[in-house]
Chains A and B, each alone.
Chain A
Amino acid sequence: MGMTIIEKILASRSGQAKVSPGDVVVVDVDCQVLEDMSFFHFGRTGPRDILKVWDPSKVVVIYDHDVPAPSARTAAIQDAGREFIKEFAITRFHDIGRHGICHAVVADHAYALPGTVLVCGDSHTCSAGAFNCAARGVSGPDTLYAITTGKTWFRVGETIRYDLDGRLPAGVSMKDVFLHIAGTYGDHATQNVEFGGSGLPWLGMNARRTLTTMGAELSAEFATFEADDVLLDYIKERNPEPFEAQDPDPDATYRARRTIQLADIEPLVALPDAVIDNSVPVGQVAGVPIQQAYIGSCANGTLDDLKVAAEVVSGRQVAPGVRLIVTPATQLIYRQAIKAGYVEKLVDAGAVVTNATCGACYGGHMGVLGPGETCITASTRNFKGRMGDPTAQIYMASPATVAASALAGVIAHPGEFFRGDV
């Protein structure tokens, strides 16, 4: 029998003809991404030093979680990181000013290449699966192992194949597709998800990354897209390195094959505390008062997300008593959003547009929730306490639904406000 995309990449990078579910494989790591939190684990401010780096040209360092530093401690940790970068002559370094959420910076520069292996000590690393890349969030010591030895291990899981067919209706986004999958099929722990289908030509890289990034929230091991012209053209403009994309074999073995008719997807909301088995149509919670609306993160801080938010709020005002906080995922996206006029429309409507950072998504800074507050968020996670106080209620939705809710002051259907095409 043939192999799925992820099985083919893991076979190729572990030097084997075939891998199967249940195998544990040791693979060569092609790209090792470190973010600022990594320097809690090693370096001058950490508990130990890295003494050797396997290949500095494979390492990318990107500051994102605590930027600019909100405390003296994080400032010291970032300074230690700069020392490490100098010591090992790492050239791909995105310091403050050229920074962004690491997964989005990886996309900006196409550091993730088809058929390769990429690891990072942040769970949303699966984002780069949109690049036909075996990208996975690993734990802190795994990043040290990969940087020092050039290798890591993976447990090969079974794969669920999703065929995305047709086109999304206006005002409906891949976040809604994610909420549909999480609400209908639940978690995918120990399994991979693979995406293809006839709808791919209409899904840009930003839309695909929203879905693969949320693969972490499905608890999937890997989330990978087929390599098509949309992907190959995107890479051609950004990264000249050679690569070999991996297509699924026609006789690949899947645990299940599921078809998603994109035209049938409607705006959904995940209720507080979980996204698994927790999605409802917006109408069921319409009218719930909110104090904060957030659009950002590695899943929803793309230029497309900012465009949708700007179109929804354009010429209107955020409701009194509501904070609309918008965080572009990278400094590059921020600049593009300024040039396109999105930032002006958002700020004119009363939104705060912050610097690029993981920020409020993980309850770090720039939009932390207080006790008893209610937030609707287009970000990655709505766990209890995720964005601040554990008594805060976090609803999860698409950028269009979040922007519409910010205008209404209560959870609202984006159709009431939406005027443009996604």
Chain B
Amino acid sequence: MITGRVWKFGDNINTDLMIPNHVLHAPEEEQLKAVFSANRPGWVDEVQKGDILIAGHNFGMGSARAGARSLRNVGLACMVAESLNGLHLRNSVNYGFVALECEGVSTAFSEGDIAEISLEDFTIRNKTTGVTLKASPVPERLLTLMQNGGTFPLLEAEGYVSPVRPPKIGGGHK
């Protein structure tokens, strides 16, 4: 069960709001400081570890930028939207961030409400108002990746990619 305080966002929240251009090439630690800086300045300083983001339709529209990784990195426990952009869903799976779709969720919650989310039966409960909704079930394979660090641990275990190492910038021709 995931329980946390709710932050509300609207429809069509795009990837460039999560990772603006000026941090596109920056390290993850820099990128997370810029999340929603254009549409909601200061939010990254207010969000607490374990909070939950609830949004409207087509969350994460836009590019392949790893917005889900930044949402995970700011400490969100998970997110629930009316609908997820397909590329945002992929990023959520790949970077180990739980993202669900649930019809009616954006009207069932106000900012600051407490949400209680079960990944066993996909119920979404508003503890503040008592309203309970049912999210679309996430296929087991994808949910497992969302809950266990995403795709990289899988690729590492199979010997397809190396573990993370500190980036070596430069180096030139060998």
Interface residues on B, range: 35 or more
Q: Which of A133-141, A167-175, A247-255, A309-317 contacts B (4 or more CB under 8 A)?
A: A133-141
Q: Is B61 an interface residue (CB 8 A)?
A: yes
User: Is the CB–CB distance between B90 and A142 below 8 Å?
Assistant: yes
Q: Is A176 an interface residue (CB 8 A)?
A: no
Q: Which of B143-161 contact A (CB under 8 A)?
A: 150-152, 155, 158-161
Chain B residues with CB below 8 A from A187, complex form: 12, 57-58, 61
Give the secondary structure class of A's interface. Answer: loop
Q: How far is the CA of A159 from the CA of B162 in the complex (A)?
A: 39
Chain A residues with CB below 8 A from B158, complex form: 148-149
| Cβ 8 A contact of B139, one of A24, A123, A276 | A24
What's the minimum C-beta distance from A141 to chain B, rounded to whole angstroms? 4
Most chain A CB atoms below 10 A, which of B12, B162, B169? B12
Q: Which 10 A-B pairs have the closest CB atoms?
A: A148-B160, A141-B94, A189-B58, A141-B151, A390-B38, A49-B162, A139-B91, A363-B21, A139-B90, A123-B63
Q: Is A384 an interface residue (CB 8 A)?
A: yes
Nearest residue (CB) in B for A391 is B38
Q: Which of A235-282 contact B (CB under 8 A)?
A: 274, 276
User: Is the CB–CB distance between A148 and B155 below 8 Å?
Assistant: yes
What's the minimum C-beta distance from B26 to chain A, rounded to whole angstroms? 10
User: Is the CB–CB distance between A51 and B159 below 8 Å?
Assistant: yes
Q: A48-B165, A274-B12, A383-B62 in contact; A141/B152 too (CB < 8 A)?
A: yes
Q: How far is the CA of A121 from the CA of B57 in the complex (A)?
A: 23
Q: Is B83 an interface residue (CB 8 A)?
A: yes
| Cβ 8 A contact of B64, one of A47, A51, A139 | A139
User: Is the CB–CB distance between A149 and B57 below 8 Å?
Assistant: no
Q: Is B1 an interface residue (CB 8 A)?
A: no
Q: A24-B142, A51-B162, A388-B21 in contact; A219/B85 too (CB < 8 A)?
A: yes
Q: A73-B25, A138-B90, A145-B155 in contact; A47/B165 too (CB < 8 A)?
A: yes
Chain A: interface residue total (CB-CB under 8 A): 55
User: Is the CB–CB distance between B173 and A219 below 8 Å?
Assistant: no
Q: Is B130 an interface residue (CB 8 A)?
A: no
What's the minimum C-beta distance from A160 to chain B, rounded to whole angstroms? 14
Chain B residues with CB below 8 A from A334, complex form: none
Chain B residues with CB below 8 A from A363, complex form: 21
| Cβ 8 A contact of B171, one of A44, A50, A157, A217 | A44
Q: Is A59 an interface residue (CB 8 A)?
A: no
Chain B residues with CB below 8 A from A354, complex form: none
Most chain A CB atoms below 10 A, which of B83, B142, B150, B170? B170
Q: Is A18 an interface residue (CB 8 A)?
A: no
Q: How far is the CA of A80 from the CA of B24 in the complex (A)?
A: 19
Chain B residues with CB below 8 A from A72, complex form: 170
Q: How far is the CA of A83 from the CA of B163 in the complex (A)?
A: 19
Chain B residues with CB below 8 A from A199, complex form: none
User: Is the CB–CB distance between B94 and A48 below 8 Å?
Assistant: no
What's the minimum C-beta distance from A101 to chain B, rounded to whole angstroms? 14
Q: Is A131 an interface residue (CB 8 A)?
A: no
The interface bits of chain B over 57-69 (1 if a CB of A lies within 8 angstroms of the residue's CB, else 0) are 1100111101000
The interface bits of chain B over 87-102 (1 if a CB of A lies within 8 angstroms of the residue's CB, else 0) are 1011100110000000
Q: A122-B64, A381-B62 in contact; A141/B89 too (CB < 8 A)?
A: no
What's the minimum C-beta distance from B2 to chain A, rounded to whole angstroms? 22
Q: How far is the CA of A121 from the CA of B151 in the complex (A)?
A: 15
Nearest residue (CB) in B for A152 is B90
Q: How far is the CA of A142 from the CA of B142 in the complex (A)?
A: 13
Chain A residues with CB below 8 A from B17, complex form: 383-385
Chain B residues with CB below 8 A from A140, complex form: 64, 66, 94
Q: How far is the CA of A402 from the CA of B21 in the complex (A)?
A: 24
Chain A residues with CB below 8 A from B61, complex form: 187, 189, 217, 219, 276
User: Is the CB–CB distance between A189 and B86 below 8 Å?
Assistant: yes
What's the minimum C-beta distance from B55 to chain A, rounded to whole angstroms? 12
Q: How far is the CA of A47 from the CA of B167 in the complex (A)?
A: 5
Nearest residue (CB) in B for A149 is B160
User: Is the CB–CB distance between B87 and A141 below 8 Å?
Assistant: no
Q: Is A42 an interface residue (CB 8 A)?
A: yes
Q: A44-B171, A45-B169, A221-B86 in contact; A386/B16 too (CB < 8 A)?
A: yes
Q: Is A200 an interface residue (CB 8 A)?
A: no
Q: How far is the CA of A24 from the CA of B12 in the complex (A)?
A: 24
Chain B residues with CB below 8 A from A219, complex form: 58, 61, 85-86
Q: Is A76 an interface residue (CB 8 A)?
A: yes
| Cβ 8 A contact of B87, one of A40, A138, A157 | A138
Contacts A140-B94, A190-B86, A385-B17 supplied; 4 other A-B pairs, CB < 8 Å: A44-B168, A123-B63, A139-B87, A139-B90
Chain A residues with CB below 8 A from B161, complex form: 42, 48-51, 144, 148
